[in-house]
């Protein structure tokens, strides 16, 4: 197993763990953090492949992901704050208003 | 000497990969959000170390600066603000533990198997990928995207303010 | 000069638009000027065109393509106007009599609230009628055909506040639609066989060369079904007597002089087809003579002055079809022409009587009007004599020619046909003089109130009556069949029959005279003898118009209602259509109900779907990518 495969495998594992975390954890903040983990996994694969092809495009994408992540968290956190202020709970299952 | 260094690098890479994986798994099992946050911070730091090892030092620096310091500080701050001890705290898992785990394993397994079978050109270059070259590329080829991100950030700020204001109205 | 043809048609349309849009705003004098001026202008244009046609020897028709309607493949549908001898006669009748009746209407309708609407409709009618007469293609003719039906409907139901009159309009429209179905089928057949609807080309195709794919009789019968609707022949005549619900000038113009002759005109126009359609021609003749006799018998006992005239119109139209059926198309058109004068005069005279009696239409409550309204009386008497066939008035010539060809035509003439037609002529003379007697002679049977108000009509009405009476008197001297012969050849007469011509002429004079004498015998001296005649059963049968309306209602109307209600409404509409749609809606609702269970609102479950979905996709894609 060379480094490429190792790093891609790691990225894959982190992504799967992040996704699984979003599925199984109740706490809204933990779910948010798991999404951050997924973004990190994506970053890792971008960097790895950028190194393999020896281009700068991957690095640029990573930079953009940073920005998106910052923007995302800047909006997600106020939303969580508002939700908690309304229902006084961080349990995602409490917010099932979209039930059909 | 060179070969020894190579070996050492590879060894470090395995160590860092294992540590970050461990941090990620810890995120799944720890109960208190603060501990989860700490595990995430650890994972991010180890990832930063990996970036350093493969030669993109400036991304490693960004990783620490933006993720660990900015984003995670923000999250930790909120965790401290909202120390709600409710169902989400006492019962960490929703009811979908087993189907979720199965799906995740299948997902990971299929992709890993595919990765295993397709052996591409091995990653050999560990030569440093300098910030200089990155900056030149960035501002020559990707300046438009760079400007667009600023729009995105402005939009995010405006949206955040709007969300807070809307919430404020609801509660008088 | 040919472009004037378009103006003939368009001028009344302009009148319709002006009167319809601005008439109520600008007042009655504006409506009068526009409503009468534009038909007169159309008449002048028509006159100019006809003179032009005659100056050119009237051998080549005037043609003007006003507009290319549609191009489908290599076929072109044009709005083209076509003026030949036949169309010339018709266009002069339509614009001439039409203009006169417009002028008459200014007096008759003067007090009506909807003066502008009335003239707008009348102008609209004229527009469509001219389209019908001048159209070169069956398609244009059909547009006019439908349009006059519309105008007729609007004018019959002109006083639509009265439900009875509105219903009469509806009846006319629906009955006409039945005939129109036949007309349309005929058009389809022609187009399918020949690929053109231009009537001159259709005629030429049937006249010359190998017979086209559709037999002439098929086309002939289908078109004649349309004609029975518009020209009120058996079995579709029932609308015309009811059409008398409209204003009297409308009855004169549309339901006597012009529109109802459209069927005769159509047959004459398609003479090239009918000449080679023996079966269709005999159908035309038989239906025509049956209608003529049948309607004449009904007319004998009617008491409404306009109903008598209506049945008389049906009867006279039947005679025209007899002429067309035996191949004497020119003679049929000749009768159209004389009939337009005397029937318009009769209707307008009746209108004048009704006007004088403040709306009274029942001849049992008239009598003794001859001295009170002399102009109306004299003109009415002249027209009556004309329709009865007293020589030398117009009706005598045309009717005599019809009887002659019914007897002697080498194309379907027969003594039996002649006998029935002659009996019709006798009845016609009888009931017309009965009408004259009961209306104008004897003692007054009017109520005191009505009698007090009797007055002669204004000049606008009497002048028109006088002109029409004069035309009814002298119109027959124009040898129209001869002038039309180049285009509409008269049927051959077997040599053996030539010596019958003079005796038959004498017989028709005798017929007219005996009708006159019979009416005088029965209805002179205040109808004393007529009251002594005991034929209650026959009288009841005739008064009830042979119960035809009742039979239609019973055998056609009710079954149709039953079928529409039970089959189409309950089974077809409610069960099949609504059922299908409701079923689909219910299916969608239930499906949505099932699918909405997926919408748990649980964030976790949604993410699990994403995860599981991508896992399944990946599994599926193994070995494929």
Q: How confident is the model at residue B168 (pLDDT cuts 50, 70, 90)?
A: low
Largest CA distance in chain B: 70
DSSP states of C73-119 as a string?
Answer: TTEEEEEEEEE-HHHHHHHHHHHHHHHHHHHHHHHHTTT-TTHHHHH
Whether residues C611 and A19 touch (CB distance < 8 A) is answered with yes
Whether residues C602 and A93 touch (CB distance < 8 A) is answered with yes
**Alpha-carbon torsion C489, C261, C141, C191, what sign?**
negative
Q: How far apart are alpha carbons C497 and B171 in whole angstroms?
A: 112
Asked if B100 has any chain C CB less than 8 Å from its own CB, the reply is yes
Whether residues B107 and C622 touch (CB distance < 8 A) is answered with no
Q: Does residue B83 surpass a pLDDT of 80?
A: no
Whether residues C611 and B96 touch (CB distance < 8 A) is answered with no
Q: What is the dihedral of CA C18, C24, C27, C29, to 10 degrees?
A: 40
pLDDT-above-90 percentage for chain B: 22
Whether residues B40 and A81 touch (CB distance < 8 A) is answered with no
C372 — phi, psi (to 5°)?
A: -80, -35
Q: How confident is the model at residue B38 (pLDDT cuts 50, 70, 90)?
A: very high
Q: How confident is the model at residue B172 (pLDDT cuts 50, 70, 90)?
A: very low
Q: Does residue B124 surpass a pLDDT of 60?
A: no
Q: How far apart are alpha carbons C331 and C312 in whole angstroms?
A: 19
Closest CA to A2 of B16, B1, B116: B116
Q: What is the mean pLDDT of chain B?
A: 84
Task: Using an 8 Å CB-CB cutoff, list residues of chain C that contact chain A.
Answer: 595-604, 607-608, 610-611
Chains that touch B (3 or more CB pairs under 8 A): A, C
User: Chain B residue with minimal CA distance to A79?
Assistant: B163
- What's the pLDDT score for residue B126? 55
**Domains delineated in chain A:** 3-98 (1.10.287.3510)
Instruction: For residue range A40-83, list pLDDT tens digits in order.
Output: 999 999 988 888 877 778 888 888 888 888 888 888 888 888 88
Whether residues A36 and B86 touch (CB distance < 8 A) is answered with no
**Alpha-carbon torsion C610, C616, C620, C621, what sign?**
positive
- DSSP structural state of residue B82: -
Q: Residue C291 in contact with residue C318, Cβ under 8 Å?
A: yes
H helix or E strand, kind and range, residue C321: helix C305-325
Closest CA–CA distance from residue B159 to any residue of chain A (Å): 7
**Alpha-carbon torsion C183, C186, C192, C193, what sign?**
negative
Q: How far apart are alpha carbons C45 and C4 in whole angstroms?
A: 6
Instruction: For residue range B130-162, list pLDDT tens digits in order.
Output: 778 788 888 888 888 888 888 988 998 898 888
User: Chain B residue with minimal CA distance to A28?
Assistant: B88
Whether residues B103 and C605 touch (CB distance < 8 A) is answered with no
Give domain limits for chain B.
Answer: 2-91+128-168
DSSP states of C431-469 as a string?
Answer: HHHHHHHHHHSSS----HHHHHH--PPPHHHHHHHHHHH
- What's the pLDDT score for residue B128? 62
Task: Measure CB to CB from residue B40 to each of A25, A36, A71 and give the nearest one.
Answer: A36
C393 three-state secondary structure: coil
Instruction: For residue range C241-261, list pLDDT tens digits in order.
Output: 999 988 999 999 888 888 999
Residue ranges of chain C with pLDDT lower than 70? 1, 209, 623, 625
Q: How far apart are alpha carbons C236 and C227 in whole angstroms?
A: 9
DSSP states of A18-69 as a string?
Answer: HHHHHHHB-BHHHHHHHHHHHHHHHHHHHHHHHHHHT-SHHHHHHHHHHHHH
Task: Measure CB to CB from residue B111 to each of C611, C612, C618 and give the nearest one.
Answer: C618
- For C268, the token pair is 């004459």
With 0-12 CB in 10 A as exposed, 13-18 as middle and 19+ as buried, what is B131? middle
Task: Measure CB to CB from residue B88 to each of A13, A78, A89 and give the nearest one.
Answer: A89
Q: How far apart are alpha carbons A66 and C201 in whole angstroms?
A: 83
- What's the pLDDT score for residue B88? 67
Whether residues A60 and B145 touch (CB distance < 8 A) is answered with yes
Task: Using an 8 Å CB-CB cutoff, list residues of chain C that contact chain B.
Answer: 602, 604-605, 608, 611-612, 614-615, 618-619, 622
User: Chain B residue with minimal CA distance to C602?
Assistant: B94
CA angle, B80 as apex, B74 and B84 as ends, to 5°?
125
Q: How far apart are the first and last CA of chain A?
A: 48
With 0-12 CB in 10 A as exposed, 13-18 as middle and 19+ as buried, what is B109? middle
User: Chain B residue with minimal CA distance to A4?
Assistant: B123
Closest CA to C191 of C285, C332, C87, C75: C75
Most B CBs within 10 A among C611, C621, C623, C624, hence the mutation to make, goes to C611
Most A CBs within 10 A among C590, C595, C596, C601, hence the mutation to make, goes to C601
- DSSP structural state of residue B122: -
Q: Which option is the CATH number for B2-91+128-168: 2.115.10, 1.20.120, 2.60.120, 1.10.287?
A: 1.20.120
Q: How many CB pairs under 8 A join A and B?
A: 235
Q: Does residue B69 surpass a pLDDT of 90?
A: no
Residue C313, C-beta contacts closer than 8 angstroms, at least 6 positions apart: C232, C240, C255, C256, C260, C343
């Amino acid at each position: 197993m060379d480094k490429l495969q190792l790093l891609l495998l790691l990225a894959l594992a982190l992504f799967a763990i992040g996704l699984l975390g979003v599925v199984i954890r109740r706490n809204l903040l933990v779910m948010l953090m798991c999404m951050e983990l997924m973004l990190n996994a994506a970053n890792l694969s971008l960097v790895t492949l950028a190194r393999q092809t020896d281009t700068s495009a991957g690095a640029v994408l990573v930079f953009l992901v940073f920005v998106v992540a910052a923007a995302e968290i800047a909006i997600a956190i106020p939303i969580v704050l508002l939700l908690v202020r309304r229902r006084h709970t961080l349990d995602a299952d409490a917010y099932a208003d979209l039930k059909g | 000497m060179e070969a020894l260094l190579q070996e050492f690098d590879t060894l470090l890479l395995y160590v860092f990969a294992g540590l970050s994986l461990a941090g990620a798994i810890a995120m799944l099992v720890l109960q208190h959000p603060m501990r989860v946050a700490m595990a995430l911070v650890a994972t991010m730091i180890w990832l930063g170390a990996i970036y350093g090892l493969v030669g993109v030092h400036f991304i490693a620096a960004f990783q620490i600066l933006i993720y660990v310091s900015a984003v995670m500080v923000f999250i930790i701050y909120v965790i401290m603000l909202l120390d709600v001890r409710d169902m989400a705290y006492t019962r960490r898992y929703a009811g979908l533990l087993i189907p979720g785990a199965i799906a995740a394993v299948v997902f990971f397994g299929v992709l890993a198997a595919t990765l295993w079978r397709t052996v591409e050109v091995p990653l050999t270059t560990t030569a440093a990928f300098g910030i200089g070259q990155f900056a030149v590329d960035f501002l020559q080829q990707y300046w438009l995207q760079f400007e667009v991100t600023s729009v995105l950030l402005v939009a995010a700020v405006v949206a955040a303010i709007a969300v807070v204001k809307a919430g404020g109205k609801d509660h008088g | 000069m040919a472009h004037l043809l378009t103006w003939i048609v368009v001028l009344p349309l302009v009148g319709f638009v002006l009167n319809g849009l601005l008439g109520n705003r600008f007042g009655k004098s504006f409506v009068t000027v526009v409503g009468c001026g534009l038909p007169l202008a159309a008449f002048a244009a028509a006159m100019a065109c006809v003179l032009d046609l005659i100056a050119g020897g009237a051998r080549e028709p005037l043609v003007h393509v006003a507009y290319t309607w549609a191009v489908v493949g290599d076929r072109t549908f044009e709005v083209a106007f076509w003026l030949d001898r036949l169309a010339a006669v018709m266009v002069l009748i339509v614009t001439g009599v039409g203009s006169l009746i417009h002028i008459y209407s200014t007096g008759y309708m003067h007090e009506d609230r909807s003066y502008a609407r009335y003239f707008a409709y009348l102008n609209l009618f004229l527009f469509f009628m001219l389209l019908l007469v001048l159209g070169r293609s069956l398609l244009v003719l059909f547009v006019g055909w439908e349009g006059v039906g519309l105008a007729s409907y609007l004018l019959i139901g002109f006083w639509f506040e009265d439900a009875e009159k509105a219903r009469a309009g509806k009846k006319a429209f629906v009955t006409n639609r039945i005939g129109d179905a036949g007309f349309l089928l005929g058009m389809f057949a022609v187009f399918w066989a020949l690929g053109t609807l231009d009537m001159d080309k259709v005629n030429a195709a049937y006249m010359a060369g190998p017979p086209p794919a559709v037999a002439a009789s098929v086309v002939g019968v289908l078109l004649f079904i349309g004609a029975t609707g518009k020209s009120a022949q058996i079995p579709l005549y029932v609308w015309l007597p009811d059409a008398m619900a409209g204003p009297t000038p409308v009855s004169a113009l549309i339901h006597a002089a012009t529109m109802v002759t459209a069927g005769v005109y159509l047959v004459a126009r398609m003479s090239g087809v009918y000449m080679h359609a023996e079966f269709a021609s005999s159908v035309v003749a038989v239906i025509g003579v049956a209608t003529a006799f049948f309607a004449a018998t009904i007319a004998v006992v009617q008491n409404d002055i306009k109903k008598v005239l209506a049945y008389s119109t049906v009867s006279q139209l039947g005679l025209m079809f007899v002429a067309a059926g035996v191949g004497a198309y020119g003679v049929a058109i000749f009768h159209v022409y004389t009939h337009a004068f005397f029937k318009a005069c009769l209707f307008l005279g009746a209108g004048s009587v009704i006007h004088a009696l403040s709306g009274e239409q029942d001849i049992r409550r008239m009598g003794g009007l001859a001295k009170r309204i002399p102009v109306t009386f004299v003109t009415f008497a002249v027209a009556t004599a004309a329709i009865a066939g007293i020589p030398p008035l117009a009706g005598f010539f045309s009717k005599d020619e019809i009887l002659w060809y019914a007897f002697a035509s080498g194309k379907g003439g027969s003594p039996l046909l002649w006998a029935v037609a002659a009996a019709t002529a006798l009845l016609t003379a009888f009931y017309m003089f009965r009408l004259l007697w009961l209306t104008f002679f004897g003692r007054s049977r009017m109520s005191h109130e009505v009698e007090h108000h009797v007055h002669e009509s204004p000049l606008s009405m009497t002048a028109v009556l006088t002109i029409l009476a004069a035309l009814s008197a002298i119109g027959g001297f124009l040898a129209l069949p001869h002038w039309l012969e180049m285009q509409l050849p008269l049927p051959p007469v077997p040599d053996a029959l030539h010596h019958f011509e003079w005796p038959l002429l004498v017989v028709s004079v005798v017929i007219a005279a005996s009708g006159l004498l019979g009416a005088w015998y029965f209805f002179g001296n205040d109808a004393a003898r007529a009251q002594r005649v005991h034929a209650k059963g026959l009288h009841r049968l005739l008064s009830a118009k042979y119960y035809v309306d009742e039979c239609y209602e019973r055998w056609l109307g009710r079954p149709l209602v039953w079928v529409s209600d039970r089959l189409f409404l309950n089974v077809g509409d409610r069960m099949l259509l609504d059922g299908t749609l409701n079923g689909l809606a219910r299916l969608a609702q239930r499906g949505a109900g099932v699918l909405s269970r997926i919408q748990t609102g649980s964030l976790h479950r949604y993410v699990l779907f994403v995860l599981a979905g991508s896992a399944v996709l990946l599994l599926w894609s193994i070995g494929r990518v």
